[in-house]
């Protein structure tokens, strides 16, 4: 009987000890979570302050620190979206960065010539300098983007990742092929070989569908691949289906998103498609 009581007391002591340990773990976890929240909120406050001051580069640094130091933050996707929008705002602005150059127009220059020389697009030069036409004047100074972008498309998540070297600039939701057989989106490495604004859709077995038609599946922009010109990145007339497996093999985005990419990506941009 004495041994039985000793065993019972031992079990009680063990359970009490375990309860104390669990309580300490919970308390530690809660404290850690509170610390993360405080750290993130501090960085968010800093980002908001920098944005209010018009210092987009410092605001970007604060958002990047959240993504790097607090990847488990429960609203990390919101932070990534903020960072993506801020990156776009910087790229399309006159802000000078390590990826830009200030160029003074010389006789014989044109937007097309400058875009080709610096590996960028006419559209990006115009947008970042507030140009309303292709006319440029000798002596005028233009801010020109000179760093190459690349694109990664992940079919399992239906996302398109815009990158600048190792930096993720922005993440877009896309639609890819309906299945892995007849309507499969090809995997591999490609280059953008053609770009068309407001494209005509040459619908198989039917008459060409003009750009203004509500039946034009290509939406407002087309960027075709080099390996097979039947595949490419384009807009849509079905924005509600973006994020689903819904295409005949192409990569489909909402029109505002594909228009943004169209202005950024020159012919020759590397596109990697992975499962």
Rg (C-alpha) for the chain, rounded Å, is 26
Cβ-based neighbours of 172, under 8 Å, separated by 6 or more = 159, 160, 161, 162, 253, 257, 261
CB atoms within 10 A of CB 48: 12
What Å distances lie between residue 235 and 15, 24, 149, 219, 254, CA to CA? 62, 53, 20, 4, 6
Q: What is the largest CA-CA distance in the chain?
A: 106
Token pair in block for residue 58: 């410092």
**Distance, CA of 67 to CA of 75 (rounded, Å):** 10
Helical H segments across the chain, by residue range: 2-52, 56-69, 76-91, 111-118, 122-129, 255-264
Mind telling me the catalytic residues?
234, 250
**Distance, CA of 34 to CA of 63 (rounded, Å):** 19
């Amino acid at each position: 009987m004495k041994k039985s009581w000793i065993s019972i007391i031992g079990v009680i002591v063990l359970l009490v000890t375990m309860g104390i340990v669990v309580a300490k773990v919970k308390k530690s976890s809660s404290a850690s979570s509170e610390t993360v929240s405080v750290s993130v909120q501090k960085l968010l406050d800093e980002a908001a302050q920098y944005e209010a001051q018009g210092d987009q580069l410092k605001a970007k640094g604060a958002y990047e620190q959240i993504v790097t130091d607090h990847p488990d933050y429960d609203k990390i996707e919101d932070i990534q979206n903020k960072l993506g929008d801020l990156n776009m705002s910087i790229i399309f602005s006159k802000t000078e960065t390590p990826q830009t150059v200030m160029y003074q127009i010389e006789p014989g220059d044109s937007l097309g010539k400058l875009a080709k020389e610096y590996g960028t697009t006419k559209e990006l030069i115009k947008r970042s300098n507030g140009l309303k036409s292709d006319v440029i004047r000798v002596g005028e100074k233009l801010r020109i983007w000179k760093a190459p972008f690349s694109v990664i498309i992940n079919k399992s998540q239906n996302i398109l990742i815009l990158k600048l070297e190792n930096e993720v600039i922005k993440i877009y939701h896309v639609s890819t092929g309906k299945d892995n057989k007849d309507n499969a989106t090809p995997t591999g490495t490609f280059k953008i070989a053609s770009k068309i604004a407001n494209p005509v859709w040459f619908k198989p077995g039917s008459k060409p569908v003009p750009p203004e038609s509500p039946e034009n599946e290509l939406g407002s922009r087309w960027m075709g691949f080099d390996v097979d010109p039947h595949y490419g990145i384009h807009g849509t007339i079905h924005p509600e289906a973006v994020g689903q497996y819904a295409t005949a093999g192409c990569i489909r985005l909402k029109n505002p998103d594909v228009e943004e990419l169209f202005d950024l990506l020159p012919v020759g941009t590397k596109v990697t498609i992975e499962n």
